[in-house]
Structures are given as C-alpha cells and as structure tokens.
Structure 1
Amino acid sequence: MAKEKKLTEEDDALLAELGIEVEAKKVVKHTPPEERIIAGFEEIQQFVEENKRLPQHGEDKDIFERLYAVRLDQIRKKEECRILVKDIDHQNLLDDSTLVEEEVLDDLDDDELLAQLGVDGQEENSITNLRHVKTRAEKRAAEEIANREVCEDFEQFKPLFEAVKKDIDNGLRTTIRFRKDAGFTKTDLKETQWIIVGGQMAYIAEIGDTFKAPNGEEDSRLRVIYANGTESNILLRSLIRAMYKDETSRFITPADSGPLFNGESSADDQESGTIYVLRSKSDHPTIKESREIVHKIGVTGGAVEKRIINAKNDPTFLMADVEIVATYKLANINRVKLEAVIHRFFSPARLDIEIMDRFGKPVKAREWFLVPIFVIDEMVEKIKEGSLSHYYYDPKKAELGKHKSKKGS
C-alpha cells in the first residue's frame, strides 16, 4: 500500500510540473442500504451477462432468477434506486419497457423478497444460504394437509379402502405411475377413482360442477377421502398439480379387469404371469439420448426381480442393469401369445440397436421399444378391456390410434 501511495504522489508531482491540474477524486460514501441496492443490481447484471437475457418471473424459474426479476422491478419503480445505479447501468437495464412487471413489492429487503417468493430462510441473513428453505410448492402441500378435515362418515368408506388394499396385495389391482409424460394439461381425474398421493391411498368420492378458473382452464371442486380418515375439498387442478410434483404418486387400476385379467379369484385359477416394463441403465449413446422412453416390454411366469438379476451379462437386457418401471399381473393367459401380441403392436417403434455380447458377437435386441410409459399403461388397459385389436400405435404422435373401420364398434 505504501508503494502505491508513493507512486501516486510522484505521478501527481509530474503532472503538476507539466502544468496539468490534478483534481482530487471525490469519494462517494453510501449508506448500508444503498450498498445493498448496488450489490443487488450488480448481481442482476451478472445474471444478464451470463444468460444473455433479463431475469424472468414464474414458478418454473430458478429461485435466484425470480428474486432478480422482482428486485429489478423494484429498482425500476423507485426513483432513488434508479438514480443510485444509473451510472453503472451499462446494459440499459433501467429501461422498464423490456420487462413486464408481474408483482410489486414495497420493500427491497432480500428476506422479505424471499418470503414473497415462497421461501423462508431459517438461519443466517445471507441471500445465497438456501440450505434450510421451504418452497412455495412445499408450503401449498403443507397448507393442503392442514386444510384436511376429519371425515365424519369414514366408516362407510373404510371397507372400500380395505378391499382395494386387499385387491392390490392379491394382484387383482395394480398401481400405475402418474403420467408425467402426458403433460399437466392432458391429465384428468374421475369420480370414484383411486390414487396414491403424498404416500397415502385416496378416493375421489365426488366431483362438483365445472367452472372456469382465473387462468381460463376448467376446474372443479372435489371431495377426496384419504386412508387416514381425513378428507379435503380440494380443486381438481390442485390435486393434479400435487400428483405431478409427487415422484411417488400413482393411479390404482380398477378391479374389473376384463377378459385377460380376472377380477375375481377362484380355487382353480392359476396365475399365468406378469407383463413387465424395464428401463435400461446402459451408457450406450442411443439409450442415454432417449432413456425416458426406451422400454423393454416382456411377459414372465416368475418373479420379475429374478428375471433381471443377471441383466448386465445378458444381451437381451443390453448388457446393463435395468430398473423395473411397471408390472401388470395376469391370470389364465397364454404368456407366449400375449408377448407376441404386445411386440407386434409396438413393432413400428421397435428400437434398432445392436449389442456385443460377452464374446464380442453382435446381437440384435428385439424386445426394446421407443414408447412412453403412459402409452404402455393405455395399451394394458385396452388388453384388459379386450379391445386392443381396435387400436394401433402411432410412433409419430406417441399415442394410440383407433382403426377407422372399427370406430363404431
């Protein structure tokens, strides 16, 4: 520091000898709140520099981006803030025509901004400390649980819950993963439907009249009964949203299983096998690129877990470990014929891949298909109804289509 000061004094003396007046720089001192505003604006500038765009509002955005968007709105709104950062606004961020205000807050305090964004800091005052925060989605889930009431007539529903649980244990019903592949807006729930959400079995007892929500979508008020003896008067879209965000949410299939899945067991019934859907953990480029829709579909008479125990050494399983995505138990079915029907049905989407076995010999895998899991769920439903022959799989649209000649059937 002493050396730097000496050099500065020498430079000033030299300039004075040259007849150049040296004007002492005016040191601007800012208050702590002003320093916070400037530092906050610089964080916004850094975001714009890195992302080549302004920060935006929206629950689908990163928490920090949403914070920057609100903060920028505030700085633009307050004249004293605009004046404070005007000289460093080299990106012209103060031009409020480039960002539409979504929400207006009266305080620039970061803790308050976080609270408005649905995040509560639990320790320290640092804006970057998010180790102990609660998201808006988590708040909504907590509020939904808190809004549940005791189901006064649960005794009439209790036998239904017990029966459904027994059906699941006996394989007469199964659970299907929530169809995230289909998208939020394409998902629907029906009256008398059984689901699993938040780790609890739930029954949609009633669906009220349809009305238009503020965002223009159709919505309804539901009466949902839960296995723990509570109920809620939740909106249809809110329940779908809760299932969409819950990684463990499931649908429970109906007990009326149609001709291929017996709805009732008898002494002479024999379980014929299980349709299984697997997802590969292979590092093969083709698999990695489309892992979420590449599925192996087969039928086995034994335990699926036993079937896949040696997957990493079997070219049928792409010489890699696999995970079980879904299973559907069958009764009184010819497994070989059913598997052939399924493979023929999805043949337009068969994965064309060649794998080297342990001896370096190329093997064509024939039981892997580029099909989303929700389409497989629909295919199984058609098998249960006995109507699969009326449909075909359209790989371009990733959906089932109905044969024109059979639309009236």
Structure 2
Amino acid sequence: MADFTDDDDALLAELGVEVEAKRTSTRTAEEERVIAAFEEIQRFFETHKRLPRHGEAVDIFERLYAVRLDRIREIEACRSIVEPMDHQGLLGVQPVMTQAHIDDMDDDALLAELGIEAEISEITTLKHVRSVSEKRAAEEIANRERCKDFDQFKPLFDQVQGELKSGVRTTRPFVKDAGFLKAEITAGQFFILGGQTVYVAEVGEPIKAPNGETDARLRAIYSNGTESNILLRSLQRALYKDETGRRITEPTAGPLFADETDDGDLASGKIYVLRSKSDIPLVAQNRDLIHKIGVTGGSVERRVANAKFDATFLLADVEIVATYELFNINRTKLENLIHRVFGAARLDMEIKDRFGKPVVPREWFLVPLFVIDEAVERIRDGSISRYRYRPDQAALVAED
C-alpha cells in the first residue's frame, strides 16, 4: 500500500474518492474589481427592480452604480468580462447616462468612477490618474497665489464697491442658459464668486479645449489680494455652480434692462424680431438674413396684424421669429440703442406706400438671428455699450 501523507486530499484520492480540484483564479486584480463592481450593480437591480439613475437628487451610491454600468457597457474589455454573468440583461438595456453627464466627465474620470485607478489599454496596462474631484478642485483653484501688484487693482475694487452701493452698478445672476448664448467673460469685467469680488485683468490667447470649445487663460484678481491663471471655462463653471455667483454690471447699463423681476415689477414690453414675406427681390433673396428689430409695449401679434397695409412692414405679412420679454425698461432708449448697435447693417431701401409716397423703412437690418440673440444677452449683462455690429465679420465687435 502506498505511503500516506498528512494531506487530506491525497488520502481521499487513495481511497478512490474523487476530489474536486481547487480553483485558482486567472483574473487580474483589475478584472476582479470590474466583476465586483458589476455584482454591486446586480444587487442594486435585484433590490430596487430598476437600473441605477443619474441626477443631483439621487443617492451618491446609486449615481456611482449608474456611471459604472454605462462605462462597463462602453468599454469592450470590461463588457466581455461580465457578459457571462449578466443573467439580468443589464448590458443590453439602453445606457442610462445622458449626454450632459458624458460631456461633463472625461475618460479618466469615468474610469475612476468605475473603480479603476487608471486608463485601460488591454485591461492590464494601468497608470495612476487623479479623481474627478481632485482635477476639478485643482483646476478651479488654479494655483491661486498672492497678487504682488495688488496695490494697482485695489482702487478698482474700492470703486466698484462704491458704485454698487450708489446703484451705478448692480449684480445679476450668472445665467448659463436663458434662451441666449452662453454667458461670456471678457477682460475688464467683475464677478462675485465665493463671496469675493473677481476682476478679469487679462484674457490670454485662445486655445482649443478637448471638447472642441475655445478656451483661454485668464489673469483673475481677487478682492482678498490673491490672483490665479484660471481657465475661462473653469471660471464660468465655478460661477454656474455657485448659487451666489453674480455678474457685476457695467456702470453704463443703468436701469435699462432688469435681468429678472422683483416684487412689484411690471412687464414693460418686448423686443421683437420679424422676417418679411415680401416678394421684393432684395428681400426674397435674403429672407433669412433681413430682420426687423423693434420694441413694443403691447402684443406683438396685434402690432403686426395689419403689416401688409403698413409701409414700415414693407407692405407684406411678416413672420415673428423671436421675442424677448422686458421688465422696468425705457423702451425708447432701448430701441435707439439696438438701432445704433446695428446701424452699419441697416437695410438701405425705399418703397412707396399705399398712396404712392416714398418711405424709407428704418427698422430693417441685414443681420443673422444668432447675432441678435447675442446682442440681447449683452443688453442683459450690461456690456452692449462696448459693441457694434460689423457686417464684414457678421459679428458684434468690441470697440476700443
């Protein structure tokens, strides 16, 4: 009889008892983490009978599971690892991450949310990356340091504070999207961020951001005597996220346009933008470019109801393409301002009215609608006084 060892498995084998071989894992640590992450998502699905969701109001762990699931679906190396265990069909369901969430996170950030500390090449080639919060914090702080020449800027901060107290300047929310273009940042503007006043002293050369947008380095001076070279888009993002973030208006903005209604405010009218249905060759050939820009205190629909009988409307019906609600506005001053901004693009045309008398319409301009949108936004933020429309560039251009 063969000698026995103290090994139980060996003894059982000598007795003819089949021994199940011990399984040794061939998975890498990273693959095991992907599997563990997917198992957590499966347990969530079993418990709640639904997929994890994104959203500010959602529990942080559910949001983490949602990010992980979307990333596992997207990365083929991860997907192939967990497909054999996907008995609930989670990989076949439409992704739950919205485009807005995807745009807001880069690949390294999404991998970090997945639980992998680096970029995946063949699922085994890894390198260290920072977390999303670390990257954002580092960028938005942007190595803030003491401003050595703060004495040159302090009088500006003192002046702005005095103008805010006297009402020459006001503060308005830094609005990301109110039907207009993105709120822009230019040199010489003041903002309130984190309870401090920020002055944009310089805007560097344009650079191309990874998402395709134009960006630039700023020299931002803070009222506490520090400065930073923060990216323009990072300052925008910080102002959007700060519930108390504000734009400080230019002194010239005055009471022309209130950004929002206060208690007791009354609507004062609308800016309206029209396109003519006239068959005049010049108008017909440039119909998408020729716009009438006016201001009315009443209904725009009533204002244009008899357009085909009115020479100021080119004796033709019109299409209302845009309106902008106004509050606490001096309509005459606003209309004059708009016409001055677009004066170089005024339509030079004479028509005869119903009685045969020559009429030169004054409110028609050869200007694209998106530029009109931008002009209204600049009226809102108080910067319009520095701009004029340049037909050769089809853009609003800041005057020196």
TM-score interval, smaller chain: 0.3 to 0.5
TM-score with structure 1 length normalisation?
0.46
TM-score scaled to structure 2, two decimals?
A: 0.47
